[in-house]
Amino acid sequence: MESRKRAITKALSYRALGTITTASIAWAFTKRVELAVGIGLFDVVFKTGGYYLHERMWNRLSYGRGGAPQESAAPQTAPGSGAIAARTQN
């Protein structure tokens, strides 16, 4: 499960892109900067909260998730990490 801090950070970065897009479209239609900025601010407040709540809801559901990963007794090392070479040099 994701931490709340990570979910909030994701929501903010996603909304920054969405708000810029929304404000740009609003400006393209109205040619009024003040109105486009107002629409963008309205958009960011409501959609950021909605996205955060949506993410938290999905984190509580098990739908589509695989089972818990199995723990093995042997430590896992990445290929080429030098773990074997380090053991053979001693």
- Per residue in 10-66, pLDDT (tens digit) is 878 887 888 999 999 999 999 999 999 999 999 888 887 888 899 899 999 998 887
Using DSSP's 3-state secondary structure scheme, residue 79 falls into coil
Query: Is 52 a member of any domain?
Result: yes
Query: Is 75 a member of any domain?
Result: no
Task: Return the pLDDT at 65.
Answer: 85
Query: Is 18 a member of any domain?
Result: yes
Split into its structural domains, the chain has a count of 1
Task: Return the pLDDT at 8.
Answer: 85
Q: Tell me the pTM.
A: 0.51
Query: Is 72 a member of any domain?
Result: no
Q: Which two tokens stand for residue 56?
A: 């938290």
Query: Is 82 a member of any domain?
Result: no
Say whether pLDDT at 88 is over 70.
no
Domain that holds residue 12: 4-60
Query: Is 70 a member of any domain?
Result: no
Say whether pLDDT at 81 is over 80.
no
Give residue 23's identity as a one-letter amino acid code: A
Query: Is 15 a member of any domain?
Result: yes
